[in-house]
Amino acid sequence: MRRALAVLLPILLTAPGVLPRASAWPAETITALSRDARKLLPRSLNRLLGERESQVLDEAQRLPPDIARALALDLPTGRLSPQTIQALQSQADAALSLLKQGQASEGLIRLGGLLRIAADLSDPVLAVGPEGWPPGVTREYYALFAANLAKMPVVLDDPRTLELKRQQLPTLWQSLVDRGRDQVPVIRGELFVNGRVVDHRRLDYRSPAWAVSSLAYSRAVTAAAGSWLAVWREAHGDTTNTPRARELKPDPSAPPLAGQRPPAPEAP
């Protein structure tokens, strides 16, 4: 039986009309993700991509079939194969080549399309192992995400991501898969309890599943910006007027959140 499935899977993945959907983020998320990622860019690159937003989003939706198939095969294993990494690198290489050739508009659109790679690899739903998800869990997870997207704080996942070179992107891509895979048990444990799917409306910002979705989004935002910058710098694009992330620290004088107990006084 296992051998039959191994033979059947490649046939299904390559059959016309049976291409697996590699991205499952809600559609409005990709737009928000693109806009948030642009906030981490130099002013000129932010403006250039913003002027082409509709074309960039269209490009991000058109993931080449060979890459979609490769991700569908690799993500359940938790490891990106050398062939998949090469295919992903080809997308960055194509954007760089167009920019160096002076085809600025087309190059910027291809550059913006790298957003899709960051989004897919940051999505913990796609990082689930071969056991897959119980029916209904992903529906509730994405419903929880979509219902709270406007409330989610966007944080800089790792400042070093914004300094990466293009040749270092494969390491970033694999790290996104690794971290998403680590979050799979949290989603499963929160949204599938005692054999039943949990309605997302029963969860709020205190839920670990909410925290996972927020972290995954910030991870995708940072990875998208880092990917754009890696190619843009190599193309000798303008990097002046780059914003700096604002560091926030807990305010010990702030009142406790609703339902949260104030800290106990320290012993003398």
Its domain, for residue 85, covers 19-129+162-181+215-234
| Token pair recorded at residue 62 | 């058109």
Least trusted range by pLDDT, from 20-29, 74-83, 218-227: 20-29
Predicted confidence band of residue 243 (pLDDT cuts 50, 70, 90) = confident
Within a domain: 38: yes
Of the candidates 123, 94, 93, the residue with the CA atom closest to the CA atom of residue 21: 123
Within a domain: 88: yes
Arithmetic mean of pLDDT over the chain: 86
Within a domain: 201: no
Within a domain: 37: yes
Within a domain: 223: yes
Q: What pLDDT is recorded for position 251?
A: 66
Q: What is the dihedral of CA 240, 167, 55, 15, to 10 degrees?
A: -170
pTM of the model: 0.84
CA–CA dist 259, 18 (Å, integer): 48
Q: Is 111 a residue whose pLDDT tops 80?
A: yes
Summarize the confidence of residues 32-45 as an average pLDDT: 96
Within a domain: 208: no
Three-class DSSP labels, the chain: CHHHHHHHHHHHHHCCCCCCCCCCCCHHHHHHHHHHHHCCCCHHHHHHHHHCHHHHHHHHHCCCHHHHHHHHHHHHHCCCCHHHHHHHHHHHHHHHHHHHCCCHHHHHHHHHCCHHHHHHHHCHHHHCCCCCCCCCHHHHHHHHHHHHHHHCCCCCCCHHHHHCCHHHHHHHHHHHHHHHHHHHHHHHHHHEECCEECCHHHCCCCCHHHHHHHHHHHHHHHHHHHHHHHHHHHCCCCCCCCCCCCCCCCCCCCCCCCCCCCCCCCCC
Count up the domains in the chain and report the number: 1
Predicted confidence band of residue 14 (pLDDT cuts 50, 70, 90) = very low
